[in-house]
């Protein structure tokens, strides 16, 4: 079945550092891909999405490109802030609208 694998954390960075979180997927069709972010004590928030190959999703300085040839959707941000400390989840959607989530990557940004 469909699945998502993302890099394990935790990841600790200094402010203004470059962030990359790797995500690869396995799917039989052409899923939509997502990154969600979860701040402490809150629900998951949609960060960005891409619905077809070569689409680039972007939001709040974060970017991810749907790479069909490598079945990847890596999340990047050029200069992180303390407020970016959170858990990040990669996810894909199957044709029945169910989401498959990665295990989550905890990111801590130090001032």
Partner 1 sequence: DAGVIQSPRHEVTEMGQEVTLRCKPISGHDYLFWYRQTMMRGLELLIYFNNNVPIDDSGMPEDRFSAKMPNASFSTLKIQPSEPRDSAVYFCASGTSGFHEQYFGPGTRLTVT
User: Which two three-digit tokens encode residue 52?
Assistant: 């077809």
Strand partners, 45: 37
Q: Which is nearer to partner 1, 98 or 110 (CB)?
A: 98
Asked whether 65 and 48 are in contact (CB, 8 A), the reply is: no
Residue 80 contacts by C-beta under 8 Å, 6 or more apart in sequence? Answer: 13, 15, 16, 17, 18, 19, 107, 109
The site that binds partner 1 (CB under 8 A) totals a number of residues, namely 20
For tokens 């550092």, name the residue: 17
Q: Which is nearer to partner 1, 32 or 73 (CB)?
A: 32
Q: Is 17 in the site for partner 1 (CB under 8 A)?
A: no
Q: Is 3 in the site for partner 1 (CB under 8 A)?
A: no
Q: Is 53 in the site for partner 1 (CB under 8 A)?
A: no
Nearest distance from residue 85's CB to partner 1, in Å?
Answer: 18
Q: Which residues bind partner 1 (CB under 8 A)?
A: 31-32, 34, 36, 42-46, 49, 51, 89, 93, 96-99, 101, 103-104
């Amino acid at each position: 079945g469909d699945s998502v694998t993302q890099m394990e954390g935790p990841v600790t960075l200094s402010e203004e550092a470059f962030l990359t979180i790797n995500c690869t997927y396995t799917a039989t069709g052409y899923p939509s891909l997502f990154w969600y972010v979860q701040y402490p004590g809150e629900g998951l928030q949609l960060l960005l999405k891409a619905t077809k190959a070569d689409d680039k999703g972007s939001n709040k300085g974060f970017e991810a490109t749907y790479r069909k040839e490598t079945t990847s959707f890596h999340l990047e941000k050029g200069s992180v802030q303390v407020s970016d400390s959170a858990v990040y989840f990669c996810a894909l959607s199957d044709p029945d609208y169910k989401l498959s989530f990665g295990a989550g990557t905890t990111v801590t940004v130090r001032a």
